[in-house]
């Protein structure tokens, strides 16, 4: 399988990313990716934290942001002379130790005129992708190193600012920019029914129906936006209810915990439950991914350590950049015992129901962990003597 590279065009700060390999007919790999950047940006924005390890957790994502700040994907610029429509991509509500997310397009369907422009406004890490009947491109490709993966075309913009159903277009995903600073615009010149998807979250889909200019429309852009906004609160309420309904029982020496909770209706509680766990030295904790919609990791960086970067940007001699998920963040660390220092990482829990087991034969103390895909998602295990 080919290695995919981002390529710089132009020069210096004016350079923009162009993805050389676009939709190439390669089937998607069963690998998912997530939301590391928004959390990093939010914490960089000063929400702070009291844990001793927080400063170290900030350092690495921010260093990468500074390094590649000039490489943020640009958004397409609409060409339309018609009306402007707006769709909100996902909705997020802060929660203690994480967040709730309504993973959908608001509104999910639009009926517009040929020549109109739709603008997608992002609140979290997703894509807006019109596949034009093509198979989805790979999310990641293996390599270059053992246990590593390189981000595939899913993550990068492809196609122009116009969609007529003949060639795929992809927004790419917010990468090294906060989602709120990321937007995507498309103009639809021809009548037709166009479905679109998020390539990171299977099940997240929307539709744009384009009617000939002059045909009656069911609603105005303002009415469509209000219809979308009205569905946000009920979905977020479902995510809160899912989290509240989680029942966890400890048997002797074994503690159950959840990494994310969602039942597939598109509302996801990005939380560890319980967020703070107290165990006796020698006890075991088993985490289960109870989130049908989104992948997570259970990652203990170890006291005083920064967590492994989820994506590293590696300049190549050719002047291109590789966007690499290092083995330390992608892959499960060896062993099932945590002695209280160093990295213990589940790797990406890619399937619902996936588990991670750790026995805590560690000195008494509180050990903090996080999800590398959603760094705002945090928990702790306190070991007593």
CB atoms within 10 A of CB 37: 24
| Region from 180-188, 193-201, 216-224, 316-324 binding Cu ion, contact rule CB under 5 A | 193-201
Work out how close the CB of 113 gets to Cu ion at its nearest, in angstroms, rounded to a whole number: 28
The contact mask relative to Cu ion for 117-146 (x = CB under 5 A, - = no) is: ---------x--------------------
Give the C-alpha separation, 345 to 347, whole Å.
Answer: 5
Question: Does residue 201 interact with Cu ion by CB under 5 A?
Answer: yes
Work out how close the CB of 383 gets to Cu ion at its nearest, in angstroms, rounded to a whole number: 36
Contact 237, 191 (CB under 8 A): no
| Region from 106-114, 194-202, 234-242, 354-362 binding Cu ion, contact rule CB under 5 A | 194-202
Give the C-alpha separation, 119 to 186, whole Å.
Answer: 7
Give the C-alpha separation, 60 to 65, whole Å.
Answer: 9
Work out how close the CB of 204 gets to Cu ion at its nearest, in angstroms, rounded to a whole number: 5
In 163-225 the beta strands, taken as DSSP E runs, fall at 169-170, 183-187, 192-197, 205-211
Work out how close the CB of 80 gets to Cu ion at its nearest, in angstroms, rounded to a whole number: 25
Q: Which is nearer to Cu ion, 372 or 381 (CB)?
A: 372
Give the C-alpha separation, 309 to 326, whole Å.
Answer: 7
Question: Does residue 200 interact with Cu ion by CB under 5 A?
Answer: yes
Give the C-alpha separation, 368 to 370, whole Å.
Answer: 7
Q: Which is nearer to Cu ion, 42 or 201 (CB)?
A: 201
Positions 202 through 241 that interact with Cu ion (CB under 5 A)? 204
Q: Which is nearer to Cu ion, 267 or 344 (CB)?
A: 267
Work out how close the CB of 133 gets to Cu ion at its nearest, in angstroms, rounded to a whole number: 21
Tokens of 117: 């422009």
Q: Which residues make Cβ contacts (< 8 Å) with residue 381, sequence separation at least 6?
A: 276, 277, 278, 279, 285, 360, 366, 367, 369
Question: Does residue 91 interact with Cu ion by CB under 5 A?
Answer: no
Q: Which is nearer to Cu ion, 95 or 102 (CB)?
A: 102
Give the C-alpha separation, 112 to 219, whole Å.
Answer: 9
Q: Which is nearer to Cu ion, 203 or 234 (CB)?
A: 203
Interface contacts to Cu ion, rule CB under 5 A: 126, 198, 200-201, 204
């Amino acid at each position: 399988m080919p290695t995919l590279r981002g390529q710089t065009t132009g020069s210096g700060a004016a350079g923009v990313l162009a993805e050389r390999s676009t939709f190439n007919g390669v089937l998607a790999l069963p690998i998912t990716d997530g939301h590391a950047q928004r959390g990093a940006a939010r914490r960089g924005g000063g929400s702070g934290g009291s844990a001793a390890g927080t400063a170290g957790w900030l350092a690495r994502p921010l260093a990468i942001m500074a390094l590649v700040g000039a490489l943020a994907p640009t958004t397409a610029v609409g060409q339309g002379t018609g009306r402007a429509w707006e769709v909100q991509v996902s909705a997020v509500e802060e929660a203690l130790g994480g967040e709730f997310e309504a993973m959908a397009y608001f509104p999910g369907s639009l009926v517009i005129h040929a020549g109109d422009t739709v603008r997608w406004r992002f609140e979290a890490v997703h894509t807006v992708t019109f596949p034009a009947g093509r198979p989805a491109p790979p999310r990641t490709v293996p390599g270059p190193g053992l246990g590593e993966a390189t981000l595939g075309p899913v993550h990068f913009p492809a196609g122009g600012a116009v969609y007529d159903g003949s060639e795929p277009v992809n927004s790419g995903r917010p990468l090294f920019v906060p989602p709120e600073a990321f937007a995507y615009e498309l103009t639809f010149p021809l009548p037709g029914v166009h479905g679109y998807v998020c390539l990171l979250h299977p099940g997240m889909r929307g539709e744009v129906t384009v009617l000939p200019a002059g045909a009656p429309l069911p609603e105005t852009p303002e009415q469509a936006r209000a219809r979308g906004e009205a569905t946000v609160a009920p979905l977020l309420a479902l995510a809160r209810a899912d989290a509240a309904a989680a029942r966890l029982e400890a048997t002797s020496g074994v503690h159950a915990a959840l990494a994310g909770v969602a039942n597939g209706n598109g509302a996801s509680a990005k939380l560890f439950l319980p967020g703070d766990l107290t165990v006796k030295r020698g006890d075991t904790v088993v985490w289960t991914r109870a989130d049908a919609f989104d992948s997570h990791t259970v990652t203990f960086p170890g006291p005083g350590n920064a967590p492994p970067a989820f994506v590293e940007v590696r300049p190549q001699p050719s002047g291109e950049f590789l966007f690499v998920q290092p083995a330390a963040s992608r892959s499960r660390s060896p062993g099932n015992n945590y002695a209280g220092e160093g990295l213990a990482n589940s790797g990406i829990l890619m399937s619902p129901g996936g588990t991670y087991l750790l026995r805590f034969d560690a000195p008494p103390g509180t050990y903090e962990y996080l999800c590398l895909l959603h760094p705002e998602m945090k928990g702790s295990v306190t070991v007593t003597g």
